[in-house]
Amino acid sequence: AMLANQIAAGEVVERPASVVKELVENSLDAGATEIEIAIEKGGHKRILIRDNGSGIAKDELELALSRHATSKISTLDDLEHIASLGFRGEALASISSVSRLTLTSKPADQDNAWQAHTEGRDQLVQIQPAAHPDGTSIDVEDLFFNTPARRKFLRAEKTEFMHIEEVVKRIALSHFGVQFVLKHNGKTIKRFAKASTDNQQQKRLAQICGNQFSDNLIALNSAYQDIKLDGWVTLSAQENNAQAVNFFYINGRVMRDKLIFHALKQACFEHTGLEQLPDFVLYLHIDPEQIDVNVHPAKHEVRFHQSRIVHDFVYRAMCDAFTQTPE
Ligand code: ADP
Ligand code: MG
C-alpha cells in the first residue's frame, strides 16, 4: 500500500522533458524498435512522438487517456519491479489534462487507424478515423496552455530542449536495439541507428559521450552473488576538458548515488592517484527487493539494503577492470 501511495503521489508532468520521458517509455513498453521525437520550440509548442510499437486498439483509446491502475501491474512482484521503472498508469491522463493532445494509433491487426483528441481537463475525448502506419503517434501541443502558473516556469526554448536531449541520451544508452531520431524545429539533431554489433554500440557511445570516451573504453562485466555490473569506463577522457560522462543505471534507470560514486572515485584514486570520478556508462543489475527506490519521477534516489556489499562490489569490479587494462 505504501508503494501504491508513493506511486499515486508522483507528479508526472514537470516540464517538456518529463513528457518526452513518459511517452518514450510508453513506446518502449509497446515494443517499438523505431522512435521519432519531434520537438517545436523546446516543447512549449509541440512534442510529437511516433513509434512502430504494438499500437492501441480503437476501443482502448479512451481508457489509455484516463487515469487508471496500469494494466502493466498485475502482481506485487510486478508492482515492485514496475515501481523501480516509474510506471504509474497516469502519464497520458496527466499530460492530456495540461495540453491539447492527439493520440493516433493502429495495431497491426486493425484495418484502420483511429485518433483521439483532447483539450485539457474536463474535455470529452473525440474519436475519429485517421491514416497512420502500424504503431502510435502522440502529439502534445501547447503544453500548460490551461495552467498559466506552470507555463510561467518553462525556461527558454534552448534550456528545455537541452533537458529533452538529456532524457533521450539516457534512454538511448540503455536501449541500443532501438533507433531514435530527435528533431528540433524541423531539423534532425540526433539520429541513433539501431546498434546490435560492438562497432555499432561504440558508434552510439561516441555520438552520445564523445570520441574521447568511446576511443578509450574499458569494458566491465562483473558479478557477485546476484548483483551484476557491466558497461564501460574510461580514465583518459577528462584530460582534455571533455564533458564528464556520468551515466549510472540501476535496473535500467539512471541514478546519482553517493555510495556508488564514492566507490567509483575510490577505485579511480587507487589506480591513478587522482581524486576524481572516471567517465562511465555503467549498468548495475540487482534484485529489486534489495533496494528502495524513491519513485517520484523527478528524483533519482535509491537505498540499498546491503549498501556495504554493493559499495565494495562496485569498487572491486572497477579496480579489476582498471588493472586488466594497460594504461
Ligand atoms: P502506464 O504506462 O503506466 O500504463 P500511461 O498513462 O503512460 O500508463 O499509458 C496508458 C496506457 O496507454 C498504457 O498502459 C498503454 O496501454 C497505452 N499506451 C500509451 N502509449 C502507448 C504507445 N506508444 N503504444 C502502445 N500503447 C500505448
Ligand atoms: Mg507509461
User: CATH number for the domain including 64?
Assistant: 3.30.565.10
Mean pLDDT across 268-281: 90
250 and 301 in a single domain? The answer is yes
pTM to 2 decimals?
Answer: 0.89
Distance of CA 132 to the CA centre of its chain: 25
Taking the CA of 107 as reference, the closest ligand is 1
* Residue 57 forms part of a structural domain: yes
Best of 7, 20, 23, 29 for a ligand 1 pocket test (most atoms within 8 Å of beta carbon): 29
181 and 266 in a single domain? The answer is no
Best of 92, 106, 137 for a ligand 1 pocket test (most atoms within 8 Å of beta carbon): 92
**Is the pLDDT confidence value at 15 over 70?**
yes
Q: What is the pLDDT of residues 23-60, one digit of tens each?
A: 999 999 999 999 999 999 999 999 999 999 999 999 99
Number of domains in the chain: 2
* Whole-number pLDDT of residue 58: 96
Asked if residue 116 lies in contact with residue 62, where contact means CB atoms within 8 angstroms, the answer is: yes
Grid cell digits, residue 316: 572491486
* Whole-number pLDDT of residue 6: 34
Q: What is the mean pLDDT of the chain?
A: 87
Nearest CA to ligand 1 atom 16: 64
Q: What is the pLDDT of residues 222-265, one digit of tens each?
A: 999 999 999 999 987 455 566 789 999 998 888 888 999 999 99
d(CA 96, CA 109): 26
**Is the pLDDT confidence value at 301 over 80?**
no
36 ligand 1 Cβ < 6 A: no
Range of the structural domain that residue 120 is part of = 2-192
Instruction: Say how many Å lie between the CA of residue 70 and the centre of ligand 1.
Output: 8
| CA-based R_g, the chain, Å | 21
User: CATH number for the domain including 281?
Assistant: 3.30.230.10
14 and 143 in a single domain? The answer is yes
Asked if residue 316 lies in contact with residue 303, where contact means CB atoms within 8 angstroms, the answer is: no
Distance of CA 318 to the CA centre of its chain: 25
Taking the CA of 78 as reference, the closest ligand is 1
**ipTM of model:** 0.99
169 and 264 in a single domain? The answer is no
18 and 164 in a single domain? The answer is yes
**Is the pLDDT confidence value at 105 over 50?**
yes
